[in-house]
Amino acid sequence: MSQVSIEQDAIEDIAGGEFERTPVPTSKLKGWKSFIGMYAGEHAAGTEFMIGPLFLTAGVSAFDLIIGLLIGNLLAVLSWRFLTAEIAVKNRLTLYYQLEKICGKKLVTGYNLANGILFCFLAGSMITVSATAVGIPFNMPMPKLDDTLPNGMTWVIIVIVIGAVISLIAARGYDTVTKAANWMSPIIVLAFIACGIVALSQLGVDSFSKFWDIWGEGSDPFPGQTKFTFWHVVIWSWFANGAMHIGMSDLSVFRFAKEAKAGWATAAGMYVGHYMAWIAAALLYAVYIQSPEALSYLNNGQAPPVAPGPMAYNAIGVLGIIAVVLAGWTTANPTIYRAGLAFQAILPKLSTAKVTILAGTLATIAGLFPAFAMKLLGFVALYGFILAPFGAIIVFEHFFHKKAGIIKNYAEAANLSFSKSVFWAWAISFGLFYFISIQFDVFLSFVTLPAWLLCGLLFLIFSKYFQNKKN
């Protein structure tokens, strides 16, 4: 046995058998059913309680919401199935190790650090969501839409306890994360259905026409909110998880799949979570905005706050509290697990448990600050826009490296630590389309796909140039 393989085996043992730097062996592969619970749990989760009310505050119409979500979620499922899962089962590597082979160690270290931190912020916002439910029995003041700092010691204690529990579950590895999701997701899904039914009853809806009238032809957006059209709904729902599918982050998940068809399991998340659950959460908010408290905000020209815990409790009582807590967990668990993998790529000699605890600690600190949850929609759009183009690097190399005449995994083959091709492809595409978004006030999700396509094309062009120049 060579010294390299001995060192690799040592690293693998330290890493706890999560195969961060080696392909997943056949004995560890999982069938498509293993992914249904994870995706249903992760996407019928805490973010849904925050995102659902957006459609009411954005003044969306019934047709735009119902049909727009059908199409946007289908595009997301197709992206997972034919891009992410397809590449994952061919290489069976994490996103981070795959990028290292293409980008080089130095460049991918910066990416991994940014990716891990952004994952921690996302997980932190879900800890915030769970805390709004746990705080109900303690009469804890709920954070407002414009709150940035913790609003009291009760909030701080609850967030720390929730963060610790979530981190410990995530630190036990992929199998534990999957089992937790499979156990929690049926409870959460039933709670969303119950919330939707109760909310319809509270709104006096007894026919489809009355349901349609909740959104009707749409309305003016709430103060400070963006007006959503049909295309806003389609594009935003497609790229709400852009970093995961076209950004290739879920290579780290689907590398455990036996076949690429496991990618269809994401439909459980999209249509149970990003369709049914978003609409159910919007209905909860529709009940809330008829309350005297919400009307006082609107009369003062302010958008009423979104506090998932109290909304769910108002609909289905204690089950609502439990559902919101579990919903936050099922999003934060795999997110912290992914963040741990990102940090592990930087610190490969640290165990999976240790780097995941590190990620959980950062997520818990982020969860103390309500701003991450209250600005979740803008954060998710920016997050996907920043990271998705790196996925284009992997996709374009995988499918077009032969036609373009470039060497696959060139950084590894040429022993490069910093790929100029990757750096300039990302920097130009990001800079150009972010400028367009800011300068011309273009909805950020609208420029995510053009930036992704440009980054992939530029990568092929620059790779051809730099590889020929060196050779």
Task: Quick: pLDDT tens for 292-305.
Answer: 888 888 888 777 77
Residue entry with tokens 């609909």 = 315
Instruction: Pinpoint the alpha helices (H) of 17-152.
Output: 33-43, 46-51, 54-57, 62-79, 85-91, 95-103, 105-134
Which helix (DSSP H) or strand (DSSP E) does residue 344 occupy? helix 318-346
Q: How confident is the model at residue 174 (pLDDT cuts 50, 70, 90)?
A: low
pLDDT at 16 over 50: no
- What is the CB-side half-sphere exposure of residue 47 using CA atoms within 13 A? 29
> DSSP letter at 15?
T
Q: Is 423 a domain residue? A: no
Rounded Cα distance, 48 and 308, in Å: 9
Q: Is 471 a domain residue? A: no
Q: Is 89 a domain residue? A: yes
Tokens representing residue 270 in the block: 């999209």
Tens of pLDDT, residues 61-109: 888 999 999 999 999 999 999 999 999 999 988 887 888 899 998 888 8
Instruction: Tell me how many domains the chain contains.
Output: 1
Q: Which range marks the domain in which residue 69 is found? A: 31-377
- Given a contact cutoff of 8 angstroms between Cβ atoms, the answer to whether 386 and 430 are in contact is yes
Q: What rounded mean pLDDT belongs to the chain?
A: 84
φ, ψ dihedrals at 33, nearest 5°: -65, -30
Rounded Cα distance, 297 and 55, in Å: 18
pLDDT at 330 over 80: no
> DSSP letter at 444?
G
Q: Is 118 a domain residue? A: yes
Which helix (DSSP H) or strand (DSSP E) does residue 186 occupy? helix 174-202
Q: Is 413 a domain residue? A: no
Q: How confident is the model at residue 447 (pLDDT cuts 50, 70, 90)?
A: very high
Q: How confident is the model at residue 402 (pLDDT cuts 50, 70, 90)?
A: very high
Q: Is 466 a domain residue? A: no
Tens of pLDDT, residues 106-163: 888 888 888 888 889 888 988 888 888 888 888 888 887 677 788 889 999 999 999 8
Rounded Cα distance, 181 and 248, in Å: 21
Name beta bridge partners: 82.
none
Question: What pLDDT is stored for residue 57 in this prediction?
Answer: 80
Rounded Cα distance, 257 and 237, in Å: 25
Q: Is 18 a domain residue? A: no
Question: What pLDDT is stored for residue 237 in this prediction?
Answer: 92
Task: Give the mean model confidence (pLDDT) for residues 10-36.
Answer: 63
Question: What pLDDT is stored for residue 345 in this prediction?
Answer: 72
CATH number of the domain encompassing residue 40: 1.10.4160.10
Q: How confident is the model at residue 20 (pLDDT cuts 50, 70, 90)?
A: low
Tokens representing residue 195 in the block: 């919330």
Question: What pLDDT is stored for residue 5 in this prediction?
Answer: 35
Residue entry with tokens 């047709």 = 63
By 3-state DSSP, what share of the chain in percent is helix, strand and coil, each rounded to 5?
75, 0, 25
- Given a contact cutoff of 8 angstroms between Cβ atoms, the answer to whether 391 and 247 are in contact is yes
pLDDT > 70: what percent of the chain? 92
3-state secondary structure at position 416: coil
Question: What pLDDT is stored for residue 9 in this prediction?
Answer: 37
Q: Is 26 a domain residue? A: no
- Given a contact cutoff of 8 angstroms between Cβ atoms, the answer to whether 395 and 246 are in contact is yes
